[in-house]
Amino acid sequence: MSIDFIKLHGLGNDFVVIDGMKGNVDVDPAQVRALCDRHFGIGADGVIVVQPPKNSGSAGYMHYINTDGSLAQMCGNGVRCTAKFLVDEGYVDASQGELTVDTLAGKRPLQFSVDTGKLTEATVNMGEPIFDPELVPVRAPQESVADHAESGTSFVRDLKVQTPWCDVTFTCISMGNPHALWFIDSFEELPDALFNGEKTLENMDIDRIGAYLESHEVFSEKSNIEFVELRDGLLHTRVFERGVGETLACGTGACATGVGGYLTGRVGREVDVVLPGGMLKIEWTEGGAVKMTGPATESYRGTI
């Protein structure tokens, strides 16, 4: 069959976006893997089929499938790209300035900016973080759970996980999908085998490390793995995404990083998270919701 698509990305986290608003478009896992193949296909971190909304008041539904063909509950960069598709293709009036996207993790309201009628940037209400270990989900012993006095939040702060290289301590949060944050305060103390050259975040071999940690037995549904360094007041982060591998940016990962950075006393409620593809502004509001601001960009259109 022939499929028209638009290649969109949020800070380099890229998607093959397909219009399913006017009729059913079904792509199976094998087709998704073929579309996402960067050598033999289009190349992407996932496929988004934009479908009619599931709830009244929403503009559309983001049906997001990971590179490996597995269905994803949530994708922050994907939500912004879905919103861009809906605005740019005329399903939403560009002058509205706001819309709601349905996802498997629930409704995601957002405000957006436009230039010559095209969406350029969006601030998404990503909802409230989930801390209950059973809901993250993560198998966390009680001693790894801590209370944050200021916010009254109980969360998995210090989950110790053994690896072939060293012990890793995770802070675990869900943003509709599970995230395990490894805040690294000293690279020099880590084994040489974790790096390709100088001991820096940029030189960490996270393809190898992330693949091991993603599927660790403590994560019953696997987990996204964040490698985080506080540098000059910013949270520099690399993400190994569950079912994908390392991506240039991860919206839910940036949200989890911002929340985890606040709960562990590293940053305030507002922080810029620097990813290989660029920067996302994250705010954990007093009301409990996390807001994420960042761009959405079209690369090209085609037919495959």
Active site residues: 75, 250
Contact 110, 125 (CB under 8 A): yes
Q: Where are the alpha helices (DSSP H) in the chain?
A: 29-36, 76-88, 206-214, 251-263
Q: What is the distance between the alpha carbons of residues 142 and 66, in angstroms, rounded to a whole number?
A: 32
Report which of 176, 173, 2, 215 is spatially closest to residue 78, judged by C-alpha positions.
176
Contact 247, 64 (CB under 8 A): no
CB atoms within 10 A of CB 163: 13
- What is the rounded (10 degree) CA torsion for 230, 234, 240, 246? -130
Kindly tell me the burial class for residue 195, based on how many C-beta atoms sit within 10 Å of its own C-beta (0-12, 13-18, 19 or more): middle
Q: What is the distance between the alpha carbons of residues 27 and 13, in angstroms, rounded to a whole number?
A: 20
Kindly tell me the burial class for residue 132, based on how many C-beta atoms sit within 10 Å of its own C-beta (0-12, 13-18, 19 or more): middle
